[in-house]
Amino acid sequence: MKMQGILQLRSISLSFGSEPIIQGLNLTVQPGEIVALMGPSGCGKSTFLSALCGLIPEQFQFSGEVLLGQQNLTQLPLAKRQVGMLFQEDLLFPHMSVKGNLAFALPQGLSRHERHHQVMALLDEVRMTALADRDPATLSGGQKARISLLRTLLAKPQLLLLDEPFSKLDQVTRSQFRQLVWSYITRYQLPTLLVTHDSADIPGHCSQVIQLPYLGSTLC
Amino acid sequence: MSLALLSYRITQLVCLLPVTLGVVGTLLPSFGYFPVAGFHQLTGNYYEMFWQAPGLSSMVMATLVSGSLAISISLLLTITIFSVFYNSSSWKIWRNFLSPMLAFPHAAFALGVMFLVTPSGWYARFLALFFPELNSPPAWHTVHDVYGMTLGIVLGLKELPFLMLMALSACNQVNVSQLLRVGQSLGYHPIYVWLKIIWPQLLPQMRLPIIAVIAYSFSVVDIARILGPTTPPTLAVAIMQWFSSEQLEQRLLGSAGAVCLLVLTGVLMVGWLALEQWLVGKDGRCLINGIRSRLSLGWQWLAHITQWLVWGVWVTAVLSIVLWAFSWRWRYPDFIPSEFSLKVGLRYSDKLLSLLETTWFLALMTSVIGLLLVLGLLEAKKAQQRYALSWLYLPLLIPQVSFLFGFQWLLVSFNLDGTWTGIIWSHLIYVIPYICLALAGYLKHFDQRYLTVATMLSGRPRYSYWRIKMAMLLWPISFALAVGVAVSVAQYLPTLFAGAGRVSTLTTEAVSLAQGADYRVTGIFALAQLVVPLITYGCAFLMPYCIYRRFSMMRI
Amino acid sequence: MMYLKWGVHYFFGFLLVLTAHQAIAQQQQNTLWDNTVKQATKQVVYFNAWGGSHEVNRYIFWVGQQVKRRYGITLKHVKVDDISQVVSRLLVEKTAGRDTEGKIDLLWVNGENFATLKNNNLLYGPFSQSLPNYQWVDESKPSVKRDFSTPVEYMEAPWGMAHLVFYYDSSVLRQPPMSMEALLDYAKQHPGRITYPNPPHFLGTTFLKQVLLELASSPELLQKPVNQVDFAEVTAPLWKFLDQLHPVSWRQGKAFPANSSQMRQMLDSGELHVSFSFSPSEASNSIQAGLLPDTVKSYVHNGGTLGNTHFLAIPYNAKAKAAAQVVVNFLLSAEAQSQKMDPVIWGDPTVLAIDRLPEGQQTMFARFEELPAMLTSIQRGKPLPEPHFSWTDALEKAWLKRYQQ
């Protein structure tokens, strides 16, 4: 398996109008390492993740550099950043079957047969082949979350951003799904940023926890 | 320049250029400056001529009466229906039929009503079943009446679905069910909750549609030609007659009239804004007088009766169109045709087919172009702010006769009159705002994160846009396309002005046939005219349904 | 004898030369015409003509098929509500300097519209006398040479004849009123059952002229331009008549039907008792089309009724002038004219002198069945000539001023 790059954030600042959210954040995330960002809802956690994808909403100001391995992401468009992201909602495309959703994440230029084969192999690995032709709306919450995760990983991202992906799940599925996510992060050695407001979401092996708003202490 | 900004600019050009230059091109001739026809002398004579035009007072009277009737009927009915029937059993019927009612072409509806209310119409025939003295048609002044009352009522009924749809979307901005609960807990009857709490919030949201209805009602030409007074006609029709006179001076007179009509509608719009302020202003006295349920039963009764009357008119109008279209001989006072036949339809089949082809081609071209522009423009950053797109609705606020004459000169100078480009352009002016109205809400509420995810997954932004965003919005998009088709099909004056008489559509043909008084032929053309938008609506409904029937989230 | 012999020689020689000359002229004209026909192939003719009648539209469609087959010309019927719109468009094109590539190649016109076109030099021509089929036109009909008193001067080609004809339902009305006075009496006895189309619709204006012709003390004054007579004095009997008629007419004269087909529809439903048309075949056409009961009959007033000729003209900036002329020539052929006169097809009287036509072509006009609702040209009598064209506008303006308030 190809070794993933290190994520480096250099003097990142984010503010809403004149109100600073993050000032001068410097951060290094190793492959397979998880860094958590915590803070009350509405403090700008999700906006920070979007900003790392290059999507800065109006009235927000963002500055600083984002480096991933050898690559400087700061000026790259979203499509070229090779970022994977999971949200609170599964965001499965409602007009495609489970198979279609997964196939969408496959690279261009595969034949129909190859697509089918790869998707089915993946589903087989997690013992979910029976769901292949299902309408995503008919899946259970846990199933949806897992398909969403698989879809993200299938696109072979270099960096994983998690925007409270567990908050909509019930207790039991939540802890199961957490374990699955952590295992995949370790397996694919993805540098990961996790945003949450629930300290229970933060895994034991998480190396750093950053509180938002972050106004320039010397964490690094 | 991004594609989105490009479509924003193109749309601005397409919609605003005709209106602004059109108004200027009407204003200048009204002051005697009309170089293409050899008039160079600036003068106020044409306003004087207009002032002294025979029958001007009757024209203004008919315009005011019919226009005021139209706006009052449509607005009062909307208010009543919402206040009395919201979430009741008939509410579902209303909601389901609003879109088809809106798509019903104006001219076809007017023709249908004409079949009902003329002295030899269906209603008189019905009464003749019981009253033998009606064996020859009564001397009713039911169509072409001097004050344009029938015209006003028909306009009001036709604008009703538009205002209701606009009110529905305004309801999304106001938490209706919560307000109803709160109001009822204070002891107010639901009708009074609507009247005193909800409507005062809805009316300011509906300012734009209401003044659009005002602009339309006071300047309508096609329906006025079918049902309005004739000696003299309404102002807008008189202006059209002057514009098409063989004496060039009359055209300058027409421009003067068109400018005056523009001023008149402007004054009436300001009047509405003042009235609205007075009605729902902060300390509107009747809002806080404490009356909670007085006469609510009477209100309900009245509402039920009007509801049945409105439905009755719509249903009988459609039925009479169908009956006339398939009859051969239907002499007064027979209640139903004595002879049915397809002969008349077959006789016109060639013409019908070619008109259907033209109409459909125009409508589809216009709607597709309009849709692409609107999709692009709604993506533009500039369009995101509140009121950023207000300019788009400007054409709806200006009487057609007040700028189309000037627009015609624009087309002539580009040599575009009578060409497809010219006509499509003239239709786009109206199709774009309606498509935008139909689509903007859905695009605004679309969860942009789907597109973000898709772009991250595929690494292909354009592909993701079409495969995910557009595909997920297929239903609203095909619905907007159908709205575009319906709007294009209904265009009368733009086709007339831009088509230079060379291109006729089902609508222009149906209106000119209404003068011909062969009701069978008129019926056939009205039927054909109404078939086009209905089929399009059917497709807009069925296509996404067939494509996505497996996926429950995609159901309508 | 010698002189005589020489004389005879000379005479024959002269004759020979003369006929040769004529033959050459004829031949020249033939080749000229052949050239026109050659030019005309593949041209598209935009024929702007009133499109409000199914019979007329169907006839023009038939003409389109014929000229396509015979000459390769595509005829497009641009249906207009009122030809005056076309006239104004031409006026504007002229002032705008669009002197070529005009969008109108042929138009159906007469009366004041023709006068406007001719006086503003908007017409191509003179052309009609050089059409091969013009030789059969009946120039003894005064309205063929003078269109509403405007000399035609070959700037337009006659196409058909119009004649004001009244009709009524014989199951409702026994004895139709055969004059304007009788009509007024009838209206007084049956209020609300008589009316006329709204001027400036041409049929309404025609009704005003007919009243004036019947009641004016010296109708010949109407042949002069309006500004040369005392308009108020000449028209006084007309206004007196209308002032009496309106209170007892349909809707007390406060509203008027828009056109003749609306009047026909109201006659059918029993709202009106008398209707009229400028087309002698309207009643019988309508019976066949299921629009009137077969008890309807036609009549004309005792003193005769107005008649005129309608024409075809080519605008000065027409794009397809050659093809337009070929179409006009075809429309003047015995075949096209007899087809048009057939009451089953249109019923528009011919402009040709039938008795001068070659034998074989005369029979084309003799085959029509007699229709009960249609009067023969003998029954209709000699048409009264149209007043000078300036009367049209003057009457319309005066009428609007008086009654449109």
C302: domain CATH number? 3.40.190.10
B43 is a domain residue: no
Query: Is there a contact between B139 and C251 if contact means CB atoms under 8 Å apart?
Result: yes
Contacts of C401 in chain B (CB under 8 A): 54
Contacts of B449 in chain A (CB under 8 A): 87, 89, 91
A207 and A99, same structural domain?
Answer: no
C398 is a domain residue: yes
| Whole-number Å distance between alpha carbons of A220 and A108 | 39
- Preferred mutation among B449, B462, B543 to probe A, highest tally of A CBs within 10 A: B449
A60 and A12, same structural domain?
Answer: yes
| CA nearest to A81 within chain B | B456
pLDDT tens-place string over residues C320-358:
999 999 999 999 999 999 999 888 888 888 999 988 999
pLDDT at A20 over 90: no
A82 is a domain residue: yes
Q: Å from A216 to nearest chain B CA?
A: 30
B472 and B355, same structural domain?
Answer: yes
Q: Give the residue from B297, B319, B341 where a domain finishes.
A: B341
Q: Å from A218 to nearest chain B CA?
A: 32
What is the DSSP-derived secondary structure letter of residue B503?
-
C139 is a domain residue: yes
Task: Give the residue ranges of DSSP H helices in B104-198.
Answer: 106-117, 122-128, 149-171, 176-185, 190-193
A108 and A57, same structural domain?
Answer: no
What pLDDT score was predicted for residue B541?
Answer: 87
* Range scoring the smallest mean pLDDT among A12-16, B385-389, B488-492, C310-314: B385-389
CA nearest to B29, candidates B20, B15, B39, B19: B39
A177 and A121, same structural domain?
Answer: no
Contacts of B504 in chain C (CB under 8 A): 79
| CA nearest to C255 within chain B | B231
C286 and C194, same structural domain?
Answer: yes
Task: Provide the domain count of chain C.
Answer: 2
Q: Å from B233 to nearest chain C CA?
A: 10
**Which of B146, B351, B412 is the closest to C96 by Cβ?**
B412
A161 and A81, same structural domain?
Answer: yes
Q: Give the residue from A109, A138, A167 where a domain finishes.
A: A138
Query: Is there a contact between A85 and B452 if contact means CB atoms under 8 Å apart?
Result: yes
The domain of A191 spans 7-92+142-148+155-215
C244 and C388, same structural domain?
Answer: yes
CA nearest to C162, candidates C56, C315, C295, C286: C56
| CA nearest to B551 within chain A | A135
Contacts of B520 in chain C (CB under 8 A): 290
A180 is a domain residue: yes
Q: Which residues of B touch A (CB under 8 A)?
A: 381, 384, 447, 449-450, 452-461, 467-468, 471-472, 474, 548, 550-554
pLDDT at C8 over 70: no
Q: Give the residue from B296, B312, B341 where a domain finishes.
A: B341
| Whole-number Å distance between alpha carbons of C405 and C401 | 7
What pLDDT score was predicted for residue B282?
Answer: 63
Output the CA–CA distances (angstroms, integers) from residue B10 to B404, B423, C88, in the order listed.
Answer: 20, 17, 33
**Which of C87, C250, C268 is the closest to B246 by Cβ?**
C87
The domain of C210 spans 165-307+384-403
Query: Is there a contact between B36 and C92 if contact means CB atoms under 8 Å apart?
Result: yes
A88 and A20, same structural domain?
Answer: yes
Query: Is there a contact between A91 and B551 if contact means CB atoms under 8 Å apart?
Result: no
What pLDDT score was predicted for residue B553?
Answer: 77
Query: Is there a contact between B501 and C89 if contact means CB atoms under 8 Å apart?
Result: yes
B463 and B552, same structural domain?
Answer: yes
- The domain that contains B77 carries what CATH number? 1.10.3720.10
Query: Is there a contact between B244 and C88 if contact means CB atoms under 8 Å apart?
Result: yes
- Cα torsion at C104, C110, C116, C120 (round to 10°)? 60
Task: Provide the domain count of chain B.
Answer: 2
Whether there are 3 or more C-beta pairs closer than 8 Å between C and A is no
B335 and B358, same structural domain?
Answer: no
Task: Provide the domain count of chain A.
Answer: 2
Q: What is the mean pLDDT of chain A?
A: 87
The domain of B385 spans 1-33+347-556
Q: Give the residue from A79, A110, A138 where a domain finishes.
A: A138
Contacts of C268 in chain B (CB under 8 A): 331-332
| Whole-number Å distance between alpha carbons of C309 and C329 | 17
A14 is a domain residue: yes
pTM: 0.84
A163 and A86, same structural domain?
Answer: yes
Q: Could you write out the DSSP letters of every residue in C174-242?
A: SS---SHHHHHHHHHHSTTS-----TTSHHHHHHHHHHHHHH-S-GGGGGS-GGGS-HHHHHHHHHHHH
Contacts of B474 in chain A (CB under 8 A): 95
| Whole-number Å distance between alpha carbons of B551 and B326 | 42
B370 and B316, same structural domain?
Answer: no
Contacts of B244 in chain C (CB under 8 A): 82, 84-85, 88
User: In 10 A of CB B296, how many CB atoms?
Assistant: 18
Contacts of B552 in chain A (CB under 8 A): 135, 137-138
Query: Is there a contact between A89 and B458 if contact means CB atoms under 8 Å apart?
Result: no
**Which of B232, B244, B245 is the closest to C404 by Cβ?**
B232
What pLDDT score was predicted for residue A1?
Answer: 41
Q: Å from B43 to nearest chain A CA?
A: 53
| CA nearest to B382 within chain A | A58
**Over residues A160-171, mean pLDDT:** 88
**Which of A83, A85, A94 is the closest to B554 by Cβ?**
A94
pLDDT tens-place string over residues C152-197:
999 999 999 999 999 999 999 989 999 999 999 999 999 999 999 9
C348 and C297, same structural domain?
Answer: no
A74 and A176, same structural domain?
Answer: yes
Contacts of B137 in chain C (CB under 8 A): 266, 269-271
Contacts of B245 in chain C (CB under 8 A): 84, 88
Residues (pLDDT < 50) of chain B are none
C364 and C395, same structural domain?
Answer: no
Q: Which residues of A touch B (CB under 8 A)?
A: 50, 53, 55, 58, 77-85, 87, 89, 91, 93-97, 104-105, 108, 135-138, 151-152, 154-155, 157
A167 and A122, same structural domain?
Answer: no
Query: Is there a contact between C271 and B516 if contact means CB atoms under 8 Å apart?
Result: no
Q: Could you write out the DSSP letters of every residue in B272-328?
A: HHHHHHHHHSTT-GGGSS---STTHHHHHHHHHHHHHHHHHHHHHHHHHHHHHHTEE
C14 is a domain residue: no
Q: Contact C188/C350 with Cβ under 8 angstroms?
A: no
Question: A170: pLDDT confidence band, cut at 50, 70 and 90?
Answer: confident
- The domain that contains B514 carries what CATH number? 1.10.3720
Query: What ipTM is given for this predicted complex?
Result: 0.92
Q: Contact B435/B516 with Cβ under 8 angstroms?
A: no
pLDDT tens-place string over residues C278-293:
988 889 888 988 889 9
Sheet holding C274-277, edge to edge: C274-277, C165-169, C296-299
C208 and C195, same structural domain?
Answer: yes
B1 and B63, same structural domain?
Answer: no
Burial B143-172 (b: 16+ CB within 10 A, else e): bbbbbbbbbbbbbbbbbbbbbbbbbeebbe
Q: Could you write out the DSSP letters of every residue in A17-83?
A: TTEEEEEEEEEEE-TT-EEEEE--TTSSHHHHHHHHTT---TTEEEEEEEEETTEE-TTS-GGGS-E
B412 and B544, same structural domain?
Answer: yes
C350 and C397, same structural domain?
Answer: no
* 3-state SS class at B380: coil
Contacts of C264 in chain B (CB under 8 A): 517
Q: Å from B221 to nearest chain C CA?
A: 15
B162 is a domain residue: yes
B250 and B365, same structural domain?
Answer: no
Query: Is there a contact between B551 and A55 if contact means CB atoms under 8 Å apart?
Result: no
* 3-state SS class at B1: coil
What pLDDT score was predicted for residue B143?
Answer: 87
Q: What is the CA radius of gyration of chain C?
A: 24
A160 and A68, same structural domain?
Answer: yes
Output the CA–CA distances (angstroms, integers) from residue B438 to B166, B319, B363, C131, in the order listed.
Answer: 10, 29, 16, 59
Q: Could you write out the DSSP letters of every residue in B187-207?
A: T--HHHHIIIIIHHHHHHHTH
CA nearest to B124, candidates B363, B277, B330, B427: B330
Q: Give the residue from A138, A171, A204 where a domain finishes.
A: A138
Tokens of B130: 């019981």
Query: Is there a contact between B120 and C266 if contact means CB atoms under 8 Å apart?
Result: yes
Contacts of B471 in chain A (CB under 8 A): 95
Query: Is there a contact between C85 and B231 if contact means CB atoms under 8 Å apart?
Result: no
Query: Is there a contact between B552 and A77 if contact means CB atoms under 8 Å apart?
Result: no
* 3-state SS class at B470: helix
B226 is a domain residue: yes
Whether there are 3 or more C-beta pairs closer than 8 Å between B and A is yes
Pairing state between β C44-50 and B339-340: unpaired
What pLDDT score was predicted for residue C184?
Answer: 96
A1 is a domain residue: no
B106 and B228, same structural domain?
Answer: yes
H/E stretch holding B250 reads helix B248-280
Amino acid C71 reads Y
A98 and A122, same structural domain?
Answer: yes
Upstream peptide bond of A213 is cis (omega within 30 degrees of 0): yes
Q: Å from B521 to nearest chain A CA?
A: 46
Tokens of C267: 């006659």
- The domain that contains A208 carries what CATH number? 3.40.50.300
pLDDT at C2 over 50: no
What pLDDT score was predicted for residue B3?
Answer: 87
Tokens of B146: 């001097």
A41 and A78, same structural domain?
Answer: yes
A2 is a domain residue: no
C346 and C248, same structural domain?
Answer: no
